[in-house]
Amino acid sequence: MDKTDAKIAMEELTMMLIYLSHFTEQDRFANKDDKYAWKGYNFDVLNKLDEKDYIRQGSHRAKSMYITKEDRVFFSVEIEKVLNSIHVSGTGLELMPKLNPGKSVVRLAVKKKNAGDDDNDDEDAETNVPFQIAYAVSIHKAQGLEYNSVKIVITKEVDEMITHNIFYTAITRARENLKVYWTPESQKKILDSFINDETSYDAKIFSARTGLKIIKKRVV
C-alpha cells in the first residue's frame, strides 16, 4: 500500500469532516447553495486549507468558515520524474511532498460534471476529469458482448499480440461510439501486420451486423 504524507492525510481528513458537518445560512440574503462549517479544527490545518482556497476563514473573530470549490475534484498523481516549483509554475499543478525518492507528486483540480458515458471531448478542459470509473475487460472476455461506447487501449507491450481476428473482435463490441488509444508506432505495426487474405467470413458477419450488402468485385 502506498504511503500518504501525514500532513496531506490530515488536510484531507479535516476537509472531509468540514464538508460532512457543513450547514447553509437561513438568512434571506444568503445564497442557499453556499456552505459553511464551524471552526473547530487545528488552526495550522485550517490555515493551509485557506491558502489552497478550499475554505475561506474570513475574520479571525468569525466562528464559521465558508467552504469553497466543493464543485471540484482533486487528484494526486505520482510522476516518474523529479520536479520543482519552476516546472509546475503556470501549469495549474500543485507540487506536493514526495513519497518516494526520484519521483514527484502533483495535485490537479477539475470541475465536477454529471456522471455518465460522455464521449464529447470538445467541452471546457476544466470540466474534463482525466480519470473516469469504468468497467474494463479483456478482448477475449468481451466476445459476445456489446456496449454503446467502447474504448480500446493498446500499449506497446501488447501490440504484437493484436492479430486481425483479435482487433476485429475488439472494434465490433461497440454499438455507437468507438475509440482506440494507441501510439502511431503501435497503430502502424498492427495495421501493417494484417494480411489481406480470405475475408469472406468476416464480410458476412459485418454485413449481418450492419445491413450492408456484399458486392463481389472482380479484379482484373
Whether the full predicted model's pTM is greater than 0.85, yes or no, is: no
Which among 32, 31, 37 is positioned nearest to 55, based on CA atoms?
37
d(CA 55, CA 47): 9
Looking at residue 133, its pLDDT comes to: 56
Residues of the chain with pLDDT under 70: 1-4, 25-33, 59-61, 69-74, 109-135, 195-202, 216-220
d(CA 139, CA 161): 11
Looking at residue 28, its pLDDT comes to: 44
Looking at residue 85, its pLDDT comes to: 85
d(CA 44, CA 64): 16
- DSSP category for residue 39: -
